[in-house]
Amino acid sequence: MKFFVDTADVNEIKELADTGLLDGVTTNPSLVAKSGHSSFLDLIKEICDIVDGPVSAEVAATDYDTMMKEAEKLAKIADNVAVKLPLTPDGLKVCKKLSDQGIMTNVTLCFSSAQAILAAKAGATFISPFVGRLDDISHDGLQLIEDIVDIYDQYPAFTTEVLVASVRNPLHVIEAAKMGAHVATIPPKVIHQFYNHPLTDSGLAAFVEDWKKTGQSIL
């Protein structure tokens, strides 16, 4: 499973890139606004220079013509830009055009299998079903992931990767991984939670304490 980080905070991205475990980045207009960065284009360029993997940069417009212009500008920033597009009729028309040109695309705000089928037919590189936001309204977000993976598996012509988004906790990622989802985009706080287990902490403390008793040094 590929791990992307869901943030536009350059410092958080740098810290996670240094772990060697980061495969990409996703941003969205809300995350960009939260970053406080004064230039969206410069921010995406900076992120693309930090991470070799796909970096999702979302269009701001909602109409076909303007989204196409924005998408072409975003795609020119770096080879690893994935243009993020809303799952709307115009968004999917842009997706099809960009996919036919070999430009990476990430279709976002997906909340149903029907939408996911359309995104695959539009040649999307990634589809982003929002698990957490479905859970937030008492719908089963992980069930959507399972359904999309099952549907895509029936059609070799569907090359779209399922990118689990709106992740709220490690269990969202673990359960999605069991289903065969290709990617998870995870908030930095949740990624850090993956490391934690009290038995690891207590076990390491015991190893350190017992090693001290040997009076030896490896170096």
Closer Cβ to ligand G3P, 26 or 99, answer by number: 26
**Closest CB to ligand G3P among 123 and 187?**
187
Specify the residue, 142 or 200, whose C-beta has the smaller distance to ligand G3P: 142
Q: What angle do CA 144, 147, 148 make, to 5 degrees?
A: 85
Shortest separation between residue 29's beta carbon and ligand G3P, angstroms: 9
Q: How far apart are CA 168 and CA 43, in angstroms?
A: 25
Cβ neighbours of residue 60 closer than 8 Å, sequence gap 6 or more: 29, 70
Exactly one of 2, 34, 45, 84 is catalytic; which is it?
A: 84
Any catalytic annotation for residue 73? no
**Applying CB under 6 A, which residues contact ligand G3P?**
6, 26, 28, 128, 130, 132-133, 165-166, 185
Q: How far is the CB of 52 from ligand G3P (least distance, A)?
A: 20
Q: Which residue has the tokens 């719908």?
A: 139
Q: State in angstroms the smallest separation of the CB of 150 from ligand G3P.
A: 22
Q: CA angle, 137 as apex, 133 and 139 as ends, to 5°? A: 85
The candidate with the shortest Cα–Cα distance to 169, out of 190, 196, 192, 144, is 190
Mind telling me the catalytic residues? 84
